[in-house]
């Protein structure tokens, strides 16, 4: 709109409206809460009374309330004041099929939230700040543990240190001197691996606890220190240690089998494990990922997380269902896969440890067998 005097020319196929300018007046804007965080996550107790959603408590049953009225739309009218018949909204107001219009069903099994099924436009705009801090913190802990520790440190430390544990001694001509001492070849292999593992695992566990302590201090929460974080970080350090043992024994054996081409074989294998690691993060249920070492270490972390933070699945569902923090927690963490039908994370943890120790033992045995039959030049 504009204000002025003069002649107005209207092009073909266009129209113009005009009138007299009478007066200006100020229109009070709607309060921000009408459009920002206007439909938060609502919870109710057993008596139907609204209570604060304590995400530390496992929710179940029917919750949610259409605060902004955009589910049933019962109070919506035209500009003439006539009610609007949103017949289609009424039809979809019970999309989750529980018989309660415009609510959210929290589905739990054995005290674990497995899904959140919401009717359309219910609790769709919560206060992100009330949940984003915890979601971001857990995503950080799990993401760093999986990507920085297991995938990166777990792969590159053995690739640089374990590959030449015996091969380098042979190439440098010092292997004759070492084997001239009263020690057999099998013990020599074992001692070299134990030395490598002692140094690398001490570094990894110390680093995990250091990062965990800092994260526990600056992380969200009512206290000044999140003690519940430390078991997760310790588990990350232990999982990485088992990966170091498995890769270390494997790469050392590759160097013994093929001193000339072992490094190239290990690099190709490392690329495979790197890719399988990311696949395991995205979807650990893919069968192909279970034939990688990284997969079992990541399963250890998933198991430890749910044991240390029993409400992790609920947090992941909240982030995904309500679009908080982009649902990133559900992208980095998944319920443990290998529970043998028990849904117990301890079973998956134990099975993962057994698999990693078995791989380590088999690779050490193969390496010792190859080394015992080799003629030292």
Residues 207 and 106 in one domain: no
The β-bridge partners of 39 are 125
> What pLDDT is stored for residue 21 in this prediction?
66
pLDDT band of residue 3 (cuts 50, 70, 90) is low
Number of domains in the chain: 2
**Which tokens hold the place of 97?**
């099929």
Residues 367 and 252 in one domain: yes
| 120-160 pLDDT, tens digit each | 888 777 777 777 888 899 999 999 999 999 999 999 998 88
Average pLDDT over every residue of 286-305? 95
Per-residue pLDDT at 238 exceeds 90: yes
Average pLDDT over every residue of 319-323? 79
Residues 90 and 148 in one domain: no
Does 16 fall in a domain?
Answer: no
| 26-51 pLDDT, tens digit each | 777 766 656 665 677 888 777 777 77
Does 249 fall in a domain?
Answer: yes
Does 227 fall in a domain?
Answer: yes
Residues 106 and 141 in one domain: no
Residues 59 and 120 in one domain: yes
Q: What is the pTM of this model?
A: 0.78
The β-bridge partners of 117 are 105
The β-bridge partners of 83 are 77
pLDDT band of residue 307 (cuts 50, 70, 90) is very high
DSSP states of 215-227 as a string? HHHHSSSSSS--T
Residues 193 and 104 in one domain: no
Separation CA 156–CA 94 (nearest Å): 53
**To the nearest 10°, the Cα dihedral for 251, 253, 254, 260?**
120
Per-residue pLDDT at 177 exceeds 70: no
> What pLDDT is stored for residue 172 in this prediction?
54
Does 20 fall in a domain?
Answer: no
Residues 45 and 191 in one domain: no
Does 114 fall in a domain?
Answer: yes
Does 161 fall in a domain?
Answer: yes
Q: Which residues, at least 6 apart from 190, have a Cβ–Cβ distance to it below 8 Å? A: 364, 368
Per-residue pLDDT at 4 exceeds 80: no
**Residue 274: other Cβ atoms inside 10 A:** 16
> What pLDDT is stored for residue 185 in this prediction?
66
Separation CA 308–CA 345 (nearest Å): 10
Residues 252 and 362 in one domain: yes
Instruction: Please classify residue 285 by burial: count the beta carbons closer than 10 Å to its beta carbon, then call 0-12 exposed, 13-18 middle and 19+ buried.
Output: exposed
Does 145 fall in a domain?
Answer: yes
- Which residue did the predictor score with more confidence, 11 or 166? 11
Final residue of a structural domain among 108, 127, 146: 127
DSSP states of 259-288 as a string? TTTHHHHHHHHHHHHHHHHHHHHH-TT-GG
> What pLDDT is stored for residue 171 in this prediction?
53
> What pLDDT is stored for residue 204 in this prediction?
95
> What pLDDT is stored for residue 48 in this prediction?
74
Does 32 fall in a domain?
Answer: no
| 63-105 pLDDT, tens digit each | 888 887 778 777 777 777 777 766 666 667 888 878 888 888 8
**Mean pLDDT score across all residues of the chain:** 82
Residues 264 and 361 in one domain: yes
Average pLDDT over every residue of 293-304? 96
Per-residue pLDDT at 166 exceeds 80: no
Instruction: Please classify residue 159 by burial: count the beta carbons closer than 10 Å to its beta carbon, then call 0-12 exposed, 13-18 middle and 19+ buried.
Output: middle
Residues 367 and 313 in one domain: yes
Per-residue pLDDT at 323 exceeds 80: no
Residues 297 and 316 in one domain: yes
- Which residue did the predictor score with more confidence, 107 or 241? 241
DSSP states of 112-139 as a string? EEEEEEE-TTSS-B--THHHHHHHHHHH
> What pLDDT is stored for residue 225 in this prediction?
92
Separation CA 122–CA 69 (nearest Å): 9
* Residue range of the domain that includes 92: 39-127
Final residue of a structural domain among 127, 161, 185: 127
Average pLDDT over every residue of 204-233? 92
Final residue of a structural domain among 79, 105, 127: 127
State residue 286 phi and psi, 5-degree precision: -65, 125
Separation CA 328–CA 305 (nearest Å): 15
Residues in the chain: 377
Separation CA 300–CA 350 (nearest Å): 8
Closest to 164 in 3D by CA, of 187, 193, 185, 184: 193
Maximum average pLDDT range among 3-12, 88-97, 332-341, 349-358: 349-358
Average pLDDT over every residue of 1-10? 72
Separation CA 289–CA 286 (nearest Å): 6
Residues 110 and 158 in one domain: no
User: What percent of the chain is predicted at pLDDT more than 90?
Assistant: 35
């Amino acid at each position: 709109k504009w204000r002025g005097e003069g002649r107005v020319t209207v092009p073909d196929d266009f129209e113009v409206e005009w009138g007299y300018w009478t007066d200006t007046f100020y229109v009070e804007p709607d309060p921000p809460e009408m459009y920002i965080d206007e439909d938060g996550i609502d919870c109710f107790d057993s008596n139907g009374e609204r209570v604060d959603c304590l995400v530390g408590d496992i929710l179940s049953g029917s919750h949610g309330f259409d605060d902004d009225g955009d589910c049933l739309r019962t109070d919506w009218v035209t500009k003439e004041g006539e009610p609007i018949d949103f017949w289609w909204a009424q039809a979809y107001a019970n999309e989750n099929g529980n018989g309660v219009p415009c609510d959210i069903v929290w589905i739990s099994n054995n005290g674990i939230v497995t899904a959140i099924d919401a009717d359309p436009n219910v609790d769709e705009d919560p206060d992100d700040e009330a949940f984003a801090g915890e979601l971001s913190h857990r995503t950080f802990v799990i993401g760093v543990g999986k990507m920085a520790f297991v995938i990166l440190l777990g792969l590159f430390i053995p690739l640089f240190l374990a590959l030449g544990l015996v091969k380098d001694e042979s190439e440098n001509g010092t292997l004759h001197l070492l084997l001239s001492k009263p020690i057999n070849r099998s013990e020599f292999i074992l001692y070299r691996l134990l030395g490598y593992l002692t140094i690398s695992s001490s570094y990894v566990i110390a680093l995990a606890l250091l990062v965990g302590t800092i994260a526990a201090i600056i992380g969200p929460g009512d206290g000044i220190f999140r003690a519940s974080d430390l078991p997760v970080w310790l588990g990350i350090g232990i999982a990485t240690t088992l990966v170091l043992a498995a890769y270390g024994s494997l790469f050392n054996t590759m160097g013994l089998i093929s001193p000339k081409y072992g490094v190239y074989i290990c690099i190709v294998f490392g690329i495979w494990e790197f890719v399988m690691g990311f696949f395991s993060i995205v979807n650990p249920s893919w069968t192909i990922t279970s034939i990688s070492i990284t997969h079992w270490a990541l399963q250890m972390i998933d198991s430890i997380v749910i044991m240390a933070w029993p409400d992790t699945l609920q947090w992941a569902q909240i982030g995904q269902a309500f679009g908080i923090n982009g649902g990133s927690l559900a992208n980095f963490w998944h319920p443990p896969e290998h529970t043998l039908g028990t849904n117990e994370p301890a079973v998956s943890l134990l099975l993962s440890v057994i698999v990693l120790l078995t791989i380590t033992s088999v690779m050490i045995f193969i390496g010792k067998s190859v080394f015992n039959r080799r003629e030292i030049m």
